[in-house]
Structure 1
Amino acid sequence: MASYHIRKYQERDRKSVLALFSQGMEEHIPSAFRHLLRQPQTLLLLPGVPLVLLFFSGSWLLALLASLAVLVVLRLAASYPWKKYVALSLQSDMADITKSYLRGSGSCFWVAESEGQVVGTVGALPVQDPTLREKQLQLFHLSVALEHRGQGLAKALVRTVIQFARARGYSEVMLDTTTVQTAALSLYQGMGFEIKHQCYFHVSARLVGLSSVRLVYRLPSSQGGGLCGSQESIDPAVVTSPP
C-alpha cells in the first residue's frame, strides 16, 4: 500500500510545488494541439496554404515545407495559452504561496507527501466579488505527479478543499478547468461539481478554440474541522491507495 500524507504547505516545498505545477500544465499541450487540429479553421489552413504555394510556385518541395511550417506554428499556438497561464501564476499567487494562501483564515494551500516527496498539490482562495450572493471558495492548482495518478490522490485533495470550505462556512466551491482536460472534468463531475458556464480565459485561448469550464460544488451549511490552521488531518483511508 502506498501511503500519502496531506498537509499544509511549507516554504521548503516551494521548488517541488512549482515544478509539479509547471509540468502538470505542460502535459496538456499535446491534447490542446490535437484539439486545435480538429478545428474547422485548421482543417482549411493545413491543406490550403500548401496548395496555394503549389499553384503559384509549382514546387512540391515548397508546398511540403509550408505544411511543416504550418504544423510548427500550430504547435506553438497550442502551447501558448498554457505557458501564458504558468507565467501569470508565477507572477501572481504562486510568486509567494505563503503570502497568497496561508496568511488568512479563509484560504489555504496543501501538499500531498509520499516517502518525503511532494506528489500532489491543491490551493484554495476566497472569491472576492461583492456581487456574489453566496460565499465562494475557489480551488486552484490541483496537480498530481504522473506516477501517482489513478490511486485516488486527486480525489483526496479535492475532498480536503471541500472539508475546509464546509468548516469555514462557505456555500460553494468553484473552479475553472478547460475542455481538453477531460480527466479533470470527469473527476470533478463524478464528485458532484456541476458545470455553470464556458468562456475563454485569454485571447490566445479563443484563437485556438480552448474554452474554460467553470464548475461549482454546492455545500450545505455545517460545522466541522479544517486541515489548514490546525493539526487536524483527514481520514487516512482517504489518502492510502494500492500501488
Structure 2
Amino acid sequence: MPRFEAQKSPMAPYHIRQYQDSDYKSVVDVFTKGMEEHIPSTFRHMLMLPRTLLLLLGVSLTLVLVAGSWLLAVMCIFFLLLLLRFLAGQPWKGYVAKCLQTDMVDITKSYLNAHDTCFWVAESGEQVVGMVGAQPVKDPPLGRKQMQLFRLSVSSQHRGQGIAKALVRTVLQFARDQGYSDVVLDTSTLQQGAMTLYLSMGFQKTGQYFISMFWRLAHIQTIQLKYSFPSA
C-alpha cells in the first residue's frame, strides 16, 4: 500500500516526512526530553495538593513541638521535598522506558511494516524536531473504524511554529485517506498545551480515568479525546 507523505510548505520552516531508521536516535532524544519536561509541573502539582501541604505542615509542627527544633523541621521538610521531586519523575521515566521497550524499540517494525500504520517526523534544518505515530485501534466500538494517535512530541526549541498542529493534521489526513471514522488519543490533565491544541482542532473529550494508583494519589487524570470525520 502506498504511504502517505505530508506536503512540504514552501513558507514553513520545517517539513514532515515518513520516519527512516537513521532518525531513531533523534526521535528517542526528542521523545525522552519531551516527556521529562512534565516532571517539574508534576512536582508543582503534587506540592499544591491539600494532602501534601497538610503533611508538610504536620511534620514540621510535630518536630517543633516534640523535638523543639526548627532546624530539624526545616531539614525534614527539605528531604520530604526531595522525595516528592523523585516520585514526580518516576512515572514519566517509567513511561519512556515502557515505550522504548514496546512500540518504539523498533519503529519501522511497529509503524511502517504493519497495515494502516505510519510514523512521521518533522524536520527543520536537517534536524528531527518532532514526531507522531498512528496505529489502528484493535477493538473499536461497534460500527466504528478508529485510528489512534501516538507519541506526539516537538522539541522545546521549535514550538510555536505550528509543528504539533501539522503533525496532528498529518495523522488526520492519513486516517481519512484510509477510510477511518475517528482518530482517538490519550493525554493528561497536566498537558494543558496539548489539550488546548487538540480541542482547537476539533477533538472532543470522551472520557477520563486514572492510569495507575500513583496518578490517583497525585490526582492526575488521563483524558481520552476523539476526532470524528464529518462523513462518518
3-state DSSP of counterpart to 2:230: coil
C-alpha distance in 1 between matches for 2:216 and 2:83: 16
Give the TM-score normalised by the residue count of structure 2: 0.91
Cα-Cα RMSD? 1.4
- 1:105 deviation in Å? 2.8
C-alpha distance in 2 between matches for 1:132 and 1:21: 33
1:17 corresponds, among 27, 34, 45, to 27
1:90 maps to a residue whose letter is L
Correspondence for 2:18 = 8
3-state DSSP of counterpart to 2:128: strand
1:151 corresponds, among 158, 161, 166, to 161
C-alpha distance in 2 between matches for 1:80 and 1:205: 11
Distance change (3 Å), C-alpha of 1:79 and 1:7? same
C-alpha distance in 2 between matches for 1:152 and 1:130: 30
Residue-pair matches, total: 222
Q: Is the contact between residue 166 and residue 221 of structure 1 (CA under 8 Å) also seen in structure 2?
A: no
1:186 corresponds, among 187, 192, 196, to 196
Correspondence for 1:93 = 103
| Ranges of 4+ aligned residues in structure 1 off by more than 2 Å | 130-133
Q: Is the contact between residue 140 and residue 146 of structure 2 (CA under 8 Å) also seen in structure 1?
A: no
Structure 2 gaps of 5+ residues are: 1-10
Correspondence for 2:220 = 210
- 1:49 deviation in Å? 1.2
2:114 corresponds, among 104, 110, 113, to 104
Report percent identity of matched pairs: 58
Distance change (3 Å), C-alpha of 1:167 and 1:2? closer
Q: Is the contact between residue 179 and residue 210 of structure 1 (CA under 8 Å) also seen in structure 2?
A: yes
3-state DSSP of counterpart to 1:3: coil
Q: Is the contact between residue 179 and residue 213 of structure 1 (CA under 8 Å) also seen in structure 2?
A: yes
1:67 maps to a residue whose letter is I
Q: Does 1:36 align with 2:36?
A: no
C-alpha distance in 2 between matches for 1:153 and 1:35: 27
C-alpha distance in 2 between matches for 1:93 and 1:12: 17
C-alpha distance in 2 between matches for 1:185 and 1:105: 29
2:93 corresponds, among 60, 65, 83, to 83
